[in-house]
Structure 1
Amino acid sequence: MKVKIKIIPEKIEESVLFLAHRVTPFIQNLIKLIENNPSSYLFLSKAGEQRERKLDYSSILYLEYLERKIFVYANNDVYEIPGPLYKLEHAMPKYFVRISKSAIVNVYMIREFETSLNGNITAQLTNNEKLIVSRRYVKELKEHLLRLE
């Protein structure tokens, strides 16, 4: 498969064109990824700093609500946003899903799942960090993963 990129002026809307013999699951996944706009971003400040930085949604591992602040974990950095988690939850791309009362995860950053006897699931992320998926959100997570396929 060939890939061609044409740089265009900023005033022209960006677009993607697939020239294919048929629509395969791979192409469907690419379309979903593009439509969910993974290149969109947030402006955030690192914990303890005043300066804001641009952060792509696709680089975010997860978000956690603690002490009336949202902490955003991306790569090796931690950013913070004031306010409740539910407000940001609805603005996030479709590949983010709530896994507990205080956490939302980027499903593309999950490496594997481990189940425990009490019904909880542990999600291991690409950075080897582990997050607990509480029982209440297991069904929603499974449905979300099936929709993304």
Structure 2
Amino acid sequence: MKVVIKKIPEDKTEFAALHVHEETPQTQLISSYLENEEYNTVIVPCTADGKIYRIPSDSIYQIESIGNVQHVHTKEKIFQTSKKLYELEKMLPVKFVRVNKSVIMHLNKVRVYTPLANGLMKAELGNGESAYISRKYLKGLRDLIREGLK
């Protein structure tokens, strides 16, 4: 497939147009990738063991708020950040979603969703941890979960 990139003035809205013979699952995937800005990686400043780290958002599984400290969970390690949960929620890409009062989860890192009897849902993450999606946030997430936001 040929790719053409055209520079536009700053005051114009950026957009992408796909010219295809037919719409396929692959073209839908490309469209979703662009619309949801999945190419957008944010660096989250964190600390652990007295050192400062720059954690790319693609490495984050979930962010959990305990007291005034946010714990950034990656595959192998847990870091801390001084940023507030609401600040992180605003700066992270669309694939990060608030799932309860104290957790933001990376939807692409979920392996299994399990509905629970009390109206909650449990999300098991690829790093072996889990998060609970409260009823308040589940309503808005149902469509994303069903679609499997890729």
Indicate how the Cα distance of structure 1 residues 120 and 71 shifts in structure 2: closer, same or farther if over 3 A, else same.
Answer: same
Q: What TM-score do you get using the length of structure 2 for normalisation?
A: 0.75
Alignment-mate amino acid for residue 127 of structure 1? N
Aligned to 1:71: 71
Aligned to 1:129: 129
Determine whether 1:106 maps to 2:106: yes
Aligned to 2:143: 143
Deviation at 1:131, TM superposition (A): 1.1
Cα distance in 2 for partners of 1:86, 1:45 equals 16
Q: What TM-score do you get using the length of structure 1 for normalisation?
A: 0.75
Q: State, as a whole percentage, how many aligned pairs show the same letter.
A: 27
* Deviation beyond 3 Å, 4+ runs, structure 1: 16-21, 143-149
Deviation at 1:88, TM superposition (A): 1.1
Cα distance in 1 for partners of 2:128, 2:84 equals 27
Root-mean-square deviation (Å): 2.7
Indicate how the Cα distance of structure 1 residues 66 and 115 shifts in structure 2: closer, same or farther if over 3 A, else same.
Answer: same
Task: Report the 3-state secondary structure (helix = DSSP H, G, I; strand = E; otherwise coil) of the residue aligned with 1:98.
Answer: strand
Aligned to 1:44: 45
Deviation at 1:128, TM superposition (A): 2.7
Q: Which runs of 5+ in 1 are unaligned?
A: 5-15
Quick check: 69-78 or 43-52, which moved more?
43-52
Alignment-mate amino acid for residue 108 of structure 2? Y
Cα distance in 2 for partners of 1:51, 1:84 equals 17
Answer yes or no: is the 8 Å Cα contact 1:97–1:107 preserved in 2. yes
Deviation at 1:78, TM superposition (A): 1.4
Corresponding residue pairs, total: 136
Q: Which runs of 5+ in 2 are unaligned?
A: 3-15
Deviation at 1:18, TM superposition (A): 6.9
